[in-house]
Chains A and B, each alone.
Chain A
Amino acid sequence: MSAVLALDRRGFLKVALTAGGALLLGHDALATAEGAPANQLGPFLRIERDGTVVIGARGAEIGQGVMTSLPMLIAEELDVPWSRVRVEQLPLGLVATDAPPGVTWKYGPQGAGGSTSIPEAWKDLRVAGAEARRLLLLAAAAEWQADVAKLSTRDGTVVHPDGRTLAYGALVAKAAALPLPKDPPTLKDPKDFRIVGTRVRVADARDIVTGRARYGLDETLPGALVATVERCPYFDGELVSFDASEAKKVPGVRDVVVLPGPKAGEPYTQNLATGVAVLADDTWSALRGRRALKIEWSKGPHAAETSAALDAQADRLLAGSGHRARDDGDFDAARKSAARVVEATYRVPFVNHAPLEPQNACAHVEAERVTIVAPMQQPSGASRVAHAITGIDRMKIEVRMTRVGGGFGRRLSNDFVAEAVLLSKATGKPVKLVWTREDDMRHDWFRPYGTHQLVAALDAKGAVTGYAHRLASASKYYRRPDVKPEDQWTAEMYPDDFPARLVPNLRIEWFGIESGIARGSWRAPAHTANAFVVQSFIDEVAHAAKRDPLELRLAMLGEPRELEYAQHGGPVFDTGRLAAVLKLAAERIGWGRKPAARRGLGLACHFTFGGYAAHAVEVSVGEGGELRVERCVCAVDVGRPINPLGLEAQMMGGTIDGLSTALNLEITIDGGRVVQSNFGDYPLLRMAQAPDVEVVIVPSERDPAGAGEMGIPTLAPALCNAIFAACGVRIRRLPVRDQLREALRKA
C-alpha cells in the first residue's frame, strides 16, 4: 500500500467538524503529498540542511498576529527552538473531495474572522506538529533499529539513550515516506511548553521594517493593466451615460470598460456598485484617465435618504412593536410594579472599516485557469466568487494570499476580488485593480447604525427586576443571499448577552431599519455597539439607584457559574470570569479612590466571542470640555495565552481602535450617498491623542479563545462612564466629538 497520500487526486478525506461547524484539518491530510520536495514533511513543514525549519502559515495575516502564533503551535509540538524557524505564507489550499461542494481545505481553515484562528489551530495544528515529530522519531528508530519508545527529541534532533543523535534535517526524507500511524499522536503536556506562552515577536518584522513585506497593493501579475473604477456614489443608482473620449486620450490609458453592479434590492453576490473602469499601463495614468471621465448617474431609489431621516425612522419604529428575540418572565408587569424606572436612548453611527491599505486585487482569467493575488480575510470566498463568475473548476483557481494592510472585517467580503475577475474576464488581460481612499471611504460594508432604547425596572432596594433592550438598526444581513429577512435580527442582537438570565424579566426586541447603504461585519460585530449601550446604561442605573457601578455589576453577575450562551463564542458564558476581569481592571485603576477635581473613573466589561475583557479608564475634562484620557487599563481573559506579546498588542490596538471610533468617527448619509471621502473628514486618532494602555492578562490554562476583537467593545462605555464621573455629562450618542464642549458651554 502506498505510504503517501496523493492529495491532488480525487479521494475522500476525513475531516473533523467543530461545534461551530468549521472544517478542520483531517488527520489523513497530514501526509506528505506525492511530488513534494524531498525535505517536505506533511503540508506545513520543510526542514533545511542547515537545520532551519520552514513552517507554512495558513492564516490570513491582517495584523492579528496569526502568521506568528499559528506556526508557534506547530513548532512547539515539533519540538524545535523558535530561533530556527522561518515562516512562509501559504496560499489558499484546496483538495478535491467526493462530498459536496467538491472541495475542502488542504491546510485547514484559512480565513480571519470571529476571532477563531487560535481556537481552531489549538485543535489541529498542534496535531500537525506532533505528527511530524512522531514520523521523525519513527525514522530514527528505523535508522538505529531501536525501540521508538526509548527515543526522545531535543533542539531539532532525535536522541538515542546512548547519546547518539540524528538531526531532523537528516531524517526528513525517510520520515516523509513513512505511513501515517492510524491513531493520532500524543500532544505535549502544557507544562513542557517552551514556545507557547512565551513572548514572541512578529515573525516577519524584519521584512516589514525594511519595506520588503509585500501587501496586495504591492503585487502585480506579468502584463497586468492597472484598473481603477469610478463607482456610482448613490446607493442603487445606475449608469445613465458616460463619455470616455477624453479619458482615452490620456497617455498610458488602454481601455475603458463598464463594470456592472447588482440591481436594486438583489442579493449581494459579487460587487457593491456599478462603475466605469479605466485600465492603463500604470497607476497615475489610470487615475488621470479616471478624472477625465464624464459620467451621468441616476440617483436611484434612495436619493432622499439622510442620517436625520434614519434617526426619525428609528424613533417611529421604536414607538411600535418589533421582533421579540427574547422575552423572559413579564417585563411589562415588572415595569408597572417598579419602585423606579430608568430609561435612556442611545445612537450608534455607521462607521467605515478604513484599513490603511485600500481595497485591491490582481486577477488573471485565462481559458482554463484563474490566478488571484490579493489581501483577503476569506480566501475560500475569493475562490468561490471567481468560480461563480468564470465557471472554471475551483481546483484550477489559484489564490495567493498576501499580507493584509488591515482587515477589521472589511476583507471578509470578496467584492474587490470579484471586480478584478470581472475586469480580467471582460478585457482578456491580467488586471491589477486599485481602490483609492475615496473609493474605500464611500463604498464599504459599513458597521450598522442603530438607535437603542434601554429600560430598567428597579425595586425599592435598587435591584434590577426588569430590563428591556429595544434596538432599531440597519442589519448587516441586508441583501445577504443566504439569510431570510425574518432572520436579519440575528446579526444585531445576541439574546444570551449580559444580562440574560441575570434579570428575571428581560426583553430583547429588534426593528429593521430600511436603508440603501451596504452593511457588514466590523470588528466585534454587534458587540461593539451593544456593549457601549448596555455598559453605559448599567452605569446610568447604578447612579439612579445610588449604587456603586462596580458593585452593581458584580451583584448582577452573582455567583461564579456557567450560563448557556448559544451564539458565537459559546457554548457557555462564565459569570465568574467576567467578574474577575472587571475586578482586576478596577483594582488596577484604583477604583474607590476619589480622583482629583474634574477627573473621573469609568468601568465596563463584556464577553465577546469567547473572551472576557474589561476596561477601566480615567479621564480629565477641562472647563471648556477638553477631554484627556489620563489612564487606560485593559484586563483580559482569553484562556491560555499563546503569545502574550501578541495578545498585549491586540488589546492595546483594540483599545485605541475603540477610542478612535468613539471619539471621532461616523459615516453620515445625505442625498442617498455617503458624505465622507478621506481621512480629512474621517479623522482616525493620531499618536498625540493615543494614551498608553496597561494590559493585564489573566493567567489561565483553559483552551485558548481568540483575541482579535475583545479589546474593542468595552472601551467606549468605560470612556463615557468616566466622562460622566468627571463632569456629569452623559454621552448617549457616538462619536463624542464636540458633545462635551457643547454640553459644558451650555451649562
Chain B
Amino acid sequence: MATRFTLNGRAVSFDGDGAMPLLWYLRDHARLTGTKYGCGVGQCGACTVHVDGEAVRSCTTTVASIAGRAVRTIESLADGDTLHVVQQAWIEEDVPQCGYCQAGQIMAATALLERVAEPSESDIASITNLCRCGTYPRIRKAIRKAAALKRVSAEGAATALAGADETAAESAA
C-alpha cells in the first residue's frame, strides 16, 4: 500500500518499503540531497527536516510514520531567490566551514525560531546537532542575528499594517 504525504508543498505517493527511513527516500527517490546522512541513528542531526513544522531526524523516521503529514526539507526554505532570514544570517555570520552539517543546523534553528521568537542562550544550546568543524560559536551568533532579522521584518510588517488602517480610517471619514 502506498504512503501518501506532502513534500515541500507537493503531494507525493511512495509504494516502496514503508520501513525505509525518510532520509533515504528523500535522497535516493526524491533526489533531494540537501538532507544529509551522518550517523543513521539520530545522534548527529545532519538529517534534520520539518514534519508538520517540527524538527525531526529523518534517519530514524520511517516513511510509513509520516503518512498524511507535511514534510519540508532545506530545499524549500528559500522563496525562489529570496533566502529565509536564517539562511541570510548564516551567510552574514560566515558560519560554514566544510558545510556538511549546516542544512541540518539551519532546519533545527528555523524550527526553534518558529517556536521561540527571542531564544535565550539555553534555548539555543538545546540544539544538539553535531558540527565536526566546530562552527558552534558562529551558529549561536547567526541564530541571534536571525531572531533580530525576523523581529525587524515583523515590526516592519506591523507598521505597514498600522499605516494602512490609518489611511483607511482617513478615507472613510
Closest-CB distance, A658 to chain B (whole angstroms):
9
**A217→B90 CA distance, assembly (Å):** 23
Closest-CB distance, B150 to chain A (whole angstroms):
16
- Interface presence of B83 (CB below 8 A): yes
Segment touching B, from A183-191, A232-240, A349-357, A511-519: A349-357
- Interface presence of A164 (CB below 8 A): no
Which residues of chain B come closer than 8 Å to A34, judged between CB atoms?
none
**A63→B103 CA distance, assembly (Å):** 15
A63 and B98 in contact (CB under 8 A), knowing A206-B91, A678-B41, A680-B43? yes
CB <8 Å contact, B40 and A653: no
Residues A641-681 near B (CB distance < 8 A): 645, 649-650, 652-657, 660, 678-680
Cross-interface CB contact of A356 among B21, B46, B137, cutoff 8 Å: B46
CB <8 Å contact, A209 and B102: yes
CB <8 Å contact, B91 and A201: yes
Cross-interface CB contact of A406 among B41, B100, B106, cutoff 8 Å: B100
Cross-interface CB contact of B83 among A209, A437, A679, cutoff 8 Å: A209
Complex: chain B residue closest to A688, CB-CB: B125
Closest-CB distance, A234 to chain B (whole angstroms):
23
Q: Size class of A's contact patch?
A: 35 or more
- Interface presence of A693 (CB below 8 A): yes
CB <8 Å contact, A678 and B133: no
A208 and B96 in contact (CB under 8 A), knowing A437-B41, A653-B133? yes
CB <8 Å contact, A436 and B40: yes
Q: In the complex, which of the residues B46, B95, B128 has the most CB atoms of chain A within 10 Å of its own CB atom?
A: B95
CB <8 Å contact, B97 and A357: no
B131-158 near A? 1/0 per residue, CB < 8 Å = 1111111111000000000000000000
- Interface presence of B55 (CB below 8 A): no
- Interface presence of A735 (CB below 8 A): no
**A690→B125 CA distance, assembly (Å):** 9
A653 and B94 in contact (CB under 8 A), knowing A211-B75, A213-B99, A405-B36? no
A299-317 near B? 1/0 per residue, CB < 8 Å = 0000000000000000000
- Interface presence of B127 (CB below 8 A): yes
Residues A401-454 near B (CB distance < 8 A): 403-408, 434, 436-437
CB <8 Å contact, A656 and B134: yes
Residues B76-118 near A (CB distance < 8 A): 77-78, 83, 87, 90-91, 94-103, 106
- Interface presence of A62 (CB below 8 A): yes
Residue count of chain B within 8 Å CB distance of chain A: 57
- Interface presence of B37 (CB below 8 A): yes
- Interface presence of B52 (CB below 8 A): no
**A686→B45 CA distance, assembly (Å):** 11
- Interface presence of B56 (CB below 8 A): no
CB <8 Å contact, A283 and B130: no
- Interface presence of A65 (CB below 8 A): yes
A61-72 near B? 1/0 per residue, CB < 8 Å = 111110000000
Main SS class of interface, B: loop
Complex: chain B residue closest to A677, CB-CB: B41
Complex: chain B residue closest to A651, CB-CB: B134
**A405→B29 CA distance, assembly (Å):** 22
CB <8 Å contact, A356 and B101: yes
- Interface presence of B124 (CB below 8 A): yes
Cross-interface CB contact of A63 among B77, B99, B127, cutoff 8 Å: B99
- Interface presence of A460 (CB below 8 A): no
CB <8 Å contact, A357 and B75: no
A690 and B44 in contact (CB under 8 A), knowing A208-B96, A215-B100, A358-B37? no
CB <8 Å contact, A406 and B24: no
Closest-CB distance, A278 to chain B (whole angstroms):
15
**A404→B97 CA distance, assembly (Å):** 10
Which residues of chain A come closer than 8 Å to B128, judged between CB atoms?
686-688
CB <8 Å contact, A653 and B91: no
Closest-CB distance, B88 to chain A (whole angstroms):
8
**A205→B99 CA distance, assembly (Å):** 8
Which residues of chain B come closer than 8 Å to A562, judged between CB atoms?
none
CB <8 Å contact, B139 and A687: yes
CB <8 Å contact, B38 and A655: no
Closest-CB distance, B107 to chain A (whole angstroms):
9
Which residues of chain B come closer than 8 Å to A690, judged between CB atoms?
134, 136-137
Closest-CB distance, B147 to chain A (whole angstroms):
16
- Interface presence of B39 (CB below 8 A): yes
- Interface presence of A214 (CB below 8 A): yes
Which residues of chain B come closer than 8 Å to A652, judged between CB atoms?
134-135, 137-138
Residues B11-29 near A (CB distance < 8 A): 17, 20-21, 24, 27-29
Residues A273-328 near B (CB distance < 8 A): 282-284, 288
8 A-B residue pairs with Cβ-Cβ distance under 8 Å, sorted by A, are A205-B90, A205-B96, A211-B32, A218-B33, A356-B46, A406-B133, A679-B41, A690-B137
Residues of B within 8 A of A (CB): 17, 20-21, 24, 27-29, 32-41, 43-44, 46, 73-75, 77-78, 83, 87, 90-91, 94-103, 106, 124-140
Residues of A within 8 A of B (CB): 61-65, 201-202, 205-206, 208-215, 217-218, 226, 251, 282-284, 288, 354-358, 403-408, 434, 436-437, 645, 649-650, 652-657, 660, 678-680, 684-688, 690-693
Known: A437-B39, A687-B139. 4 other contacts (CB 8 A): A211-B73, A282-B24, A405-B36, A408-B132
